[in-house]
């Protein structure tokens, strides 16, 4: 079978959006973003593309034409078996808790009348630090264009131990994992990038006061782990601790009633024992992954899709997710297809 990613441009051009929508049989769609800004954002710039305000407003206009916006609590009560969701609805979520959520995103959402949930890394509120991948982006942004041989040798000595010896300096920095995050402060010292000063002056993340303002405006918040690890790299007890600690912090600091959690990076590799531990004891009401419109094996873990992975209008991005859902649905009806193919996530 030809990979759908190769067929997509031609198929997408001839199949109308409404057809994909009907074929997918999906009622709730959950787009997610990290950043909305018209400016360069050094701690994000080298990680992924993000939407401008104009592009974001265009996304919202399309979503409002095609779907009914619903609140987080509406989704949870539906999972509880109380009430139905509209036939075609959406709920927006935003990960990482950047300060632009209060300064840029919330005013647009209020103007358009769109509810949303903001997922926060609790360690970084009120200037408490920075996720290791955001540090990497900042280092790449502030790295001198001309680096001395001595400086390169110092960096190389660190990277050889953590990121291997192949690839460009940029690719090797980007490959540094959460477990080796401590080396980023060492590299920052070598290239004279003051990360603590950047955090205090640029204020990458929300403050508690801004979170309270979002709540006052009717938005909801949830947890996104303590400090943004890839869960597949953590043992089960650390996955559970990251989740419980971040949820507990959100609940105690902001009197949150709905206990919602969004996996940092992805929910791939998270085993059933995680969900058993956190849902049976009431730690979580709902969780969210990043596998698009594909259905997760645990019914209260809802998959979302990124509005930042590929360029293009909202219609094209969402239609691609619909087509991907249809494609995987067809594969599920073919017993001979190996599981490793049926579980393909990142390519299509």
Ranges of each domain in the chain: 4-130+207-342, 144-192
Confidence band of 59 (pLDDT split at 50, 70, 90): very high
Query: What pTM was computed for the model?
Result: 0.91
| Of 66, 58, 65, 63, the residue nearest 92 (C-alpha) | 63
Residue 147: what pLDDT?
87
Residue 347: what pLDDT?
34
- Neighbour count for residue 340 (Cβ, 10 Å): 7
In CATH, which superfamily holds the domain spanning 4-130+207-342? Answer: Glycoside hydrolase/deacetylase (3.20.20.370)
Residue 277 has pLDDT above 80, yes or no: yes
- 178/196 Cα distance (integer angstroms): 18
Note whether 201 and 105 are within 8 A (CB): no
Residue 229: what pLDDT?
98
Residue 48: what pLDDT?
94
DSSP-assigned letter for residue 171: H
Note whether 248 and 222 are within 8 A (CB): no
Residue 7 has pLDDT above 70, yes or no: no
Kindly state the tokens that stand for 305. 């899709």
* E strand intervals along the chain: 28-29, 31-33, 68-69, 89-90, 92-95, 116-120, 220-223, 260-262, 286-289, 301-303, 305-306
Residue 2 has pLDDT above 70, yes or no: no
Quick: pLDDT tens for 279-313. Answer: 998 999 999 999 999 999 999 999 999 999 888 89
DSSP-assigned letter for residue 127: G
Residue 209: what pLDDT?
98
**Between the CA of residue 113 and those of 37, 50, 72, 100, 311, what are the distances in Å?**
20, 22, 14, 18, 25
| Of 225, 210, 304, the residue nearest 261 (C-alpha) | 225
Phi and psi based region of residue 265 (left: phi greater than 0; alpha: psi -120 to 50; beta: remaining): left
Quick: pLDDT tens for 141-166. Answer: 998 888 888 998 999 889 988 876 67
Q: How high is the mean pLDDT of the chain?
A: 90
Element (H, E) at 109: helix 106-112
Note whether 214 and 118 are within 8 A (CB): yes
Output 234-241 pairs: Cβ under 8 A, ≥24 positions apart. 236/271, 236/273, 236/274, 236/277, 239/270, 239/274, 240/274, 240/277, 240/278
DSSP string, 304-348: -EESSSS-S-HHHHHHHHHHHHHHHHHHHT-TTS-HHHHT--S--
- Antiparallel, parallel or unpaired: β 68-69 and 89-90: parallel
Confidence band of 328 (pLDDT split at 50, 70, 90): confident
- Antiparallel, parallel or unpaired: β 260-262 and 286-289: parallel
Confidence band of 46 (pLDDT split at 50, 70, 90): very high
- Average pLDDT on 106-120 reads 98
Residue 235 has pLDDT above 80, yes or no: yes
Residue 273: what pLDDT?
97
- Average pLDDT on 82-103 reads 96
Confidence band of 324 (pLDDT split at 50, 70, 90): confident
Q: Please, what's the largest Cα pairwise distance for the chain?
A: 65
| Of 199, 231, 35, 211, the residue nearest 120 (C-alpha) | 211
Quick: pLDDT tens for 200-209. Answer: 999 999 999 9
């Amino acid at each position: 079978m030809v990979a759908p990613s190769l067929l997509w441009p031609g198929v997408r051009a001839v199949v109308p959006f409404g057809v994909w929508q009907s074929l997918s049989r999906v009622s709730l769609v959950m787009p997610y973003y990290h950043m909305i800004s018209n400016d360069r954002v050094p701690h994000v710039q080298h990680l992924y593309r993000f939407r401008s305000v104009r592009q974001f407003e265009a996304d919202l206009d399309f979503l409002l034409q095609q779907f009914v916006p619903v609140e987080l609590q509406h989704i949870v009560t539906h999972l509880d078996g109380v009430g139905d969701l509209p036939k075609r609805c959406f709920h927006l979520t935003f990960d990482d808790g950047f300060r632009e959520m209060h300064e840029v995103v919330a005013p647009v959402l209020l103007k358009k009348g769109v509810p949303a949930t903001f997922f926060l890394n609790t360690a970084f509120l009120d200037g408490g630090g920075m996720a290791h991948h955001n540090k990497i982006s900042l280092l790449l942004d502030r790295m001198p264009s001309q680096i001395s041989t001595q400086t390169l040798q110092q960096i190389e000595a660190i990277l050889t131990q953590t990121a291997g010896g192949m690839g460009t300096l940029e690719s090797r920095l980007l490959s540094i994992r959460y477990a080796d995050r401590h080396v980023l402060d060492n590299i920052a010292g070598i290239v004279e990038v003051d990360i603590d000063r950047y955090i205090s002056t640029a204020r990458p993340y929300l403050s508690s006061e801004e979170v309270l303002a979002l709540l006052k405006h009717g938005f909801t918040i949830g947890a996104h782990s303590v400090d943004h690890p890839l869960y597949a790299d953590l043992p089960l007890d650390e996955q559970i601790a990251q989740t419980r600690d971040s949820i507990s912090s959100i609940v105690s600091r902001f009197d949150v009633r709905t206990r919602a959690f969004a996996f940092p990076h992805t929910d791939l590799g998270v085993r059933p024992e995680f969900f058993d531990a956190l849902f049976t004891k009431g730690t979580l009401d709902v969780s969210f992954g990043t596998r698009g419109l594909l259905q997760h094996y645990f019914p209260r873990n809802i998959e979302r899709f990124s509005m930042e992975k590929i360029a293009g209008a909202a219609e094209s991005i969402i239609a691609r997710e619909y087509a991907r859902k249809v494609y995987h649905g067809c594969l599920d009806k073919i017993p001979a297809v190996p599981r490793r193919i049926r579980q393909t996530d990142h390519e299509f």
